[in-house]
A and B are shown apart, each in its own frame.
Chain A
Amino acid sequence: EVQLVQSGGGLAQPGGSLRLSCAASGFTFSAYWMNWLRQAPGKGLEWVANIDQGGSEKYYVDSVKGRFTISRDNAKNSLFLQMDSLRAEDTAVYFCAKHSRNSGFQYWGQGSLVTVSS
């Protein structure tokens, strides 16, 4: 059974940092692009970043470039999102998700709430 189990998140002050983790199981983690997405309270879905199988190609939505860093540890089947210089507008539930061309975002983590407030 495929599982994506998230940890991290919580409350941070503006300008602060948080790190999200996503532990994968039930599939060959190192064979897939992985993604982070988010959903602000009462708002729609927004893609945040993705990373290729080996961790060398990374892409970000413009609003987080230079502040967020996506990474992975294939030996530990884990995906990470380091969030620095946090802003109030980064407040959202963050999801990790596995995407493939032939199944879409078929598997999602349970979501991690990140609240940025003083």
Chain B
Amino acid sequence: DIVMTQSPLSLPVTPGESASISCRSSQSLLHSNGDNYLEWYLQKPGQSPQVLIYLGSNRASGVPDRFSGSGSGTDFTLKISRVEAEDVGIYYCMQPLQVPVTFGQGTRLEIK
């Protein structure tokens, strides 16, 4: 199984500042087609998760451009520019490259 490791696990952020979350996979997520099979999700309190980023760096429909994904192979980063109060929740990275699909442990973003 591909193990996904996120850091940090807790991320206090002042509104208006930037935040970054790292995700590392135990195997490369770079497919032979050139795409990185890495997705980012946000689960707000009491809600179903919502997709933010797919294929490593593509923003999902309706996601503000404050959110950006980067990386390749085994190292990926989610950056949130100008953090807002509505960004509070738990962020997960996930690999859909092979079954079982696996998630990182989650990073809890809180507002200072």
Binding site for B on A (CB under 8 A): 35, 44-47, 50, 59-62, 95, 99, 101-106, 108-111
Contact = CB atoms under 8 A, between A and B. Distances in A.
Interface of B: 35, 37, 39, 41, 43, 48-51, 53-55, 58, 60-61, 90, 92, 94, 96, 99-106
Contacts of B103: 44-47
A47 B101 contact: yes
A109 B48 contact: yes
Nearest to B6: A44
Nearest to B62: A106
Contact of A105 (B39, B55, B90, B106): B39
Contact of A45 (B37, B43, B55, B60): B43
Contacts, number: 64
A111 B48 CA distance: 7
A103 B48 CA distance: 16
A108 to B, nearest CB: 4
A45 B92 contact: yes
Nearest to B105: A44
A111 B54 CA distance: 22
B49 A108 contact: yes
Contacts of B100: 47, 59-62
Among B51, B101, B105, max chain A CB count under 10 A is at B101
Given A44-B92, A50-B99, A111-B48, A105 B41 contact: yes
Nearest to A95: B48
